[in-house]
Amino acid sequence: MQLYDTASDIGEKYNVQGDHPEIVQRLTRLLEKYVNDGRSTPGPVEKNELKVNIWRKNEPLADDDNEN
C-alpha cells in the first residue's frame, strides 16, 4: 500500500505507510469490505465480475499463470 500526506507532499515522493500502521489497517479493512460487498456505495451486495486479489505486505503473489 502507498500512503502519502498530500498536504505536505504534493508530489507524492514520500510513502508514509510505515509511519501510520493504524491508517493502513483501517484502509485495508475498508478495501476488503468494498471487495466483499462488490461495491463502495450504499446498496445491496453485488457480485464481482472478476476475482480480486488484494496484495498484502510480506505475502507472496499468487502465480495464477502456472495453474494446470
Q: Tell me the Cα Rg of the chain.
A: 15
C-alpha cell at 58: 510480506
Higher pLDDT, 61 or 10: 10
Name the pLDDT band for 68 (thresholds 50, 70, 90).
very low
Ranges of each domain in the chain: 1-62
- Percent residues over pLDDT 90 in the chain: 66
Name the pLDDT band for 1 (thresholds 50, 70, 90).
confident
pLDDT in tens, 29-52: 999 999 999 999 999 999 988 888
pTM over 0.75? The answer is no
With CA atoms as reference, report the closest residue to 22 among 37, 3, 35, 44. 3
